């Protein structure tokens, strides 16, 4: 698969270095552009439309080829620039290259959730959802095309606001001067400068923090060409994204079909020399009895419940020779998680055992958590199968830790004698069945539902052959580019 995120970043990086479109020697140099911006801002200051920024500076290249910054008090200091830029481009602080940078204020006293003749100006706040639209106001605070940047929580989400609007908390608005800095170029530049997403290295953005950003500024007409080229490339990348999502969905469907066939005994041939699953189940009963006598199991764990067939009965139609049927609860120990209070865990010192809280701790089947506890109460051991059973249902992973405490959003399954990788494939095959049984407003699967999930058990050797074939097919499915 193509890494489209990296591809987008590369396009923006080339654009900001002047390597995306050719330069035109007939373009007005950006140095003249900055002079015009400065003159226009002086006029706006005289008209009291904007306030003077006492921290604005001027960056220039000396005869020695080095870059220097001149401050308001007349002092000059040598500075380092990140990379070389083409002739006709200049380095500048973003505050010097734009008209105004302001933080969103409190929400208006009167807000409408719908647009009307009276409430016709959009209110934007932090966030990506619904493009940041919060509501509608009677009066606009910003009337010129601007770029808004989410400043807290979700950091760095940028959007162009062409029409008059009201920015509110957690939002910073950057307004360029017309015909000096293109609003689309400004958006792409900010997108390149500011890492985007939850929990970035920047805890929050501030106006004083943005103003000193060092930017490479091309001539105005080159800005327009760059914006048009970026837009063209991003449309192509969006199509690639869409195609890859469709391909991933097809691959997932194919994988699911392979799992379904495997769980019905139709993926690999049976070997009459294999020890039948009925013998394996007898051994499991003996193992459970031994663990009970050693005090490692409770008496209730020995009880075998009636087999209840799932939504689909396919797993129990014409089982292959050597296979047997049972319930999930008969072949393993199911461990229910328990939440800890805030005083019982930490996110910082790393002492104790890992505390796995839910689906947010599992990314692409890999468990990763910085939360730990010195007071574990429900212990999952290494190689237990972890299943999220509340909120996000059906996220799966192997526990990578020797011991870990699990929260109530998770259950751990520890099989007796059954091949653990076969059981992981079984869970993957039954995810939709599990989700269909989730109840309440916040989806949740009960312990009883999991214990009674029907399981068609192949001989142990066949389990291993099934696992090997599924792994090979999966590699072929997901290696498709």
What are the pLDDT digits (tens) for 385-442? 999 988 888 889 999 999 999 999 999 999 999 999 999 999 999 888 877 777 665 6
Beta bridge partners of 412: 335, 386
Q: Are the C-beta atoms of residues 124 and 161 closer than 8 Å to each other?
A: yes
Q: In angstroms, rounded to a whole number, what is the distance separating the alpha carbons of residues 209 and 188?
A: 18
Is pLDDT at 3 greater than 60 in this prediction? yes
Radius of gyration of the chain, Cα coordinates, nearest whole angstrom: 31
Classify strands 366-367 and 324-327 as parallel, antiparallel or unpaired.
unpaired
Mean pLDDT of 325-341: 91
Mean pLDDT of 314-330: 81
Q: In angstroms, rounded to a whole number, what is the distance separating the alpha carbons of residues 335 and 314?
A: 28
pLDDT digits (tens, 9 = 90+) for 35-88: 999 999 999 999 999 888 888 899 998 989 899 999 988 899 999 999 999 999
Tokens 């000096």 belong to which residue? 180
**Eight-state DSSP code of residue 116:** -
Is pLDDT at 200 greater than 70 in this prediction? no
pLDDT for residue 480: 63
pLDDT band at 191 (very low <50, low <70, confident <90, very high): very high
Mean pLDDT of 7-19: 95
The helix, strand and coil proportions of the chain, stated in percent and rounded to the nearest 5, come to 35, 20, 40
Q: Which two tokens stand for residue 297?
A: 């199991």
pLDDT band at 309 (very low <50, low <70, confident <90, very high): low
Distance of CA 268 to the CA centre of its chain: 37
What share of the chain in percent tops pLDDT 90?
A: 62
pLDDT for residue 334: 92
Q: In angstroms, rounded to a whole number, what is the distance separating the alpha carbons of residues 213 and 190?
A: 9
pLDDT digits (tens, 9 = 90+) for 119-153: 999 999 887 778 889 999 999 999 999 999 988 87
């Amino acid at each position: 698969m193509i890494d489209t995120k990296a591809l987008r970043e590369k396009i923006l990086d080339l654009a900001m270095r002047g390597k995306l479109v050719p330069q035109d020697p007939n373009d007005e140099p950006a140095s003249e552009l900055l002079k015009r911006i400065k003159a226009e801002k002086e006029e706006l200051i005289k008209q009291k439309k904007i306030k003077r920024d006492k921290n604005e500076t001027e960056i220039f290249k000396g005869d020695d080829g080095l870059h220097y910054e001149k401050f308001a008090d007349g002092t000059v200091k040598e500075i380092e620039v990140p990379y070389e830029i083409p002739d006709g481009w200049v380095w500048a602080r973003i505050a010097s290259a734009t008209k105004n940078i302001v933080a969103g204020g409190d929400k208006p006293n009167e807000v409408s959730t719908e647009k009307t003749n009276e409430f016709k100006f959009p209110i934007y706040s932090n966030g990506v959802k619904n493009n940041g639209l919060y509501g509608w106001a009677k009066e606009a605070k910003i009337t010129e095309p601007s770029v808004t940047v989410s400043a807290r929580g979700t950091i760095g989400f940028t959007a162009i606001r062409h029409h008059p609007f009201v920015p509110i908390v957690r939002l910073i608005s950057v307004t360029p001067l017309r015909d000096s800095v293109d609003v689309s170029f400004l958006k792409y530049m900010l997108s390149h400068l500011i890492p985007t997403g939850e929990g970035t290295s920047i805890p929050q953005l501030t106006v004083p923090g943005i103003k000193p950003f060092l930017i490479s500024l091309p001539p105005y007409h080159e800005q327009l060409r760059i914006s048009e080229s970026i837009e063209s490339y991003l449309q192509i990348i969006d199509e690639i994204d869409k195609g890859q999502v469709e391909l991933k969905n097809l691959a997932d469907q194919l994988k699911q079909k392979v799992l379904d066939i495997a769980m019905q005994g139709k993926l690999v041939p049976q070997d009459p020399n294999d020890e039948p699953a009925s013998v394996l189940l007898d051994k499991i009963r003996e193992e459970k009895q031994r663990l009970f006598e050693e005090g490692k199991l409770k008496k209730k764990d020995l009880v075998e419940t009636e087999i209840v067939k799932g939504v689909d009965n396919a797993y129990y139609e014409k089982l292959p020779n050597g296979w047997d049927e049972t319930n999930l609860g008969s072949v393993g120990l199911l461990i229910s998680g328990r939440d800890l209070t805030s005083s019982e865990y930490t996110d910082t010192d790393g002492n104790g055992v890992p505390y796995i809280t839910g689906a947010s701790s599992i990314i692409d089947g890999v468990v990763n958590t910085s939360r730990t506890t010195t007071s574990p109460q429900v212990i999952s051991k290494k190689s237990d199968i972890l299943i999220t059973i509340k909120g996000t249902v059906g996220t799966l992973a192997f526990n990578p830790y020797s011991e870990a405490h699990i929260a109530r959003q998770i259950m751990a399954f520890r099989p007796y004698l059954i091949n653990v990788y076969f059981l992981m494939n079984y869970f993957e095959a039954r995810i939709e069945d599990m989700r269909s049984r989730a109840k309440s407003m916040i989806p949740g699967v009960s312990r009883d539902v999991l214990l009674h999930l029907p399981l068609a058990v192949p001989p142990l050797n066949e389990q291993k052959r099934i696992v090997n074939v599924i792994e090979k097919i999966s590699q072929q499915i997901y290696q498709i580019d």
